[in-house]
C-alpha cells in the first residue's frame, strides 16, 4: 500500500512593490506616491522606505521646493541660462509655477497623494539611521510612519516582485 503525501505550501498571491525614496524635492516627491498608490489600487502589497532627503516627504509640513539647477531635463517656459536660474528667488518662482501648472492640470498635491497611500495601507518606513544622522524629530513626521533600518526593509524588498529606487 502506497501512501501519497500532499504538501500544500501557502503562498500569497499578492504581488509586492518595494520603493526606496531618496529625494525630497517637490518634483521628486510625486513618483513614489503615485507609483505606491497605483500599485496599492491594483492589489499590490506596498512598502516605501524613505531615506536621506526622502524623509522630507514624511514631514507634516510639506514645504518642498523645485529647482532646475542640476535638472537639465526640466521643461522651462522659455530658454533660461543657468546663471539666471541661480539668482535668488528663482527657486521660489519655479516652485510656484510648478504648483500652479499641476493644479491647472488637476494633479493632486503631495499631501493628498500621501494620504491616499496611507488609506490604501501603503507602509511608510523612515530610515532610523538617517533620522538619527540628521537629528530629526519624530514629532515633525506624519502619523503612521514606522522607524526601522535597512535590514528590516530588505526582508520585504527581497521578496518583492518589483523594487524601485527613486
Task: Give 41-77 pLDDT, tens digit per residue.
Answer: 999 999 999 999 999 999 999 988 886 555 655 566 6
State the DSSP code for 69. T
> What is the span of the domain harbouring residue 51?
16-61+110-165
Residue 161, in any domain of the structure: yes
CATH of the domain at 52: 3.40.1260.10
Residue 54, in any domain of the structure: yes
pLDDT average, residue stretch 9-36:
88
Q: pLDDT value at position 7?
A: 38
> What are the residues facing 46 on neighbouring strands?
17
Question: What are 149-166's pLDDT values in tens digits?
Answer: 999 999 999 999 999 999
Report phi then psi at 124, rounded to 5: -100, 125
Residues whose CB falls within 8 Å of the CB of residue 24, separated by 6 or more in sequence, listed in order: 52, 53, 54, 55, 56, 57, 64
What's the structural domain count of the chain? 1
Residue 8, in any domain of the structure: no
Q: Which residue has the higher pLDDT, 89 or 149?
A: 149
Amino acid at each position: 500500500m502506497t501512501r501519497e503525501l500532499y504538501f500544500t505550501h501557502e503562498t500569497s498571491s499578492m504581488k509586492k512593490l518595494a520603493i526606496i525614496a531618496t529625494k525630497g524635492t517637490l518634483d521628486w516627491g510625486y513618483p513614489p506616491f503615485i507609483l505606491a498608490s497605483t500599485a496599492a489600487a491594483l492589489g499590490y502589497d506596498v512598502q516605501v522606505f524613505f531615506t536621506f532627503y526622502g524623509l522630507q516627504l514624511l514631514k507634516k509640513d510639506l514645504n518642498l521646493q523645485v529647482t532646475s539647477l542640476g535638472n537639465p531635463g526640466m521643461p522651462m517656459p522659455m530658454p533660461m541660462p543657468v546663471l539666471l536660474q541661480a539668482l535668488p528667488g528663482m527657486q521660489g518662482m519655479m516652485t510656484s509655477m510648478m504648483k500652479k501648472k499641476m493644479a491647472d492640470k488637476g494633479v493632486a498635491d503631495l499631501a493628498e497623494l500621501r494620504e491616499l497611500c496611507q488609506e490604501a495601507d501603503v507602509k511608510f518606513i523612515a530610515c532610523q539611521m538617517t533620522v538619527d544622522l540628521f537629528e530629526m524629530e519624530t514629532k515633525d513626521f506624519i502619523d503612521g510612519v514606522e522607524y526601522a533600518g535597512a535590514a528590516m526593509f530588505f526582508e520585504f524588498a527581497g521578496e518583492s516582485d518589483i523594487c524601485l529606487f527613486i
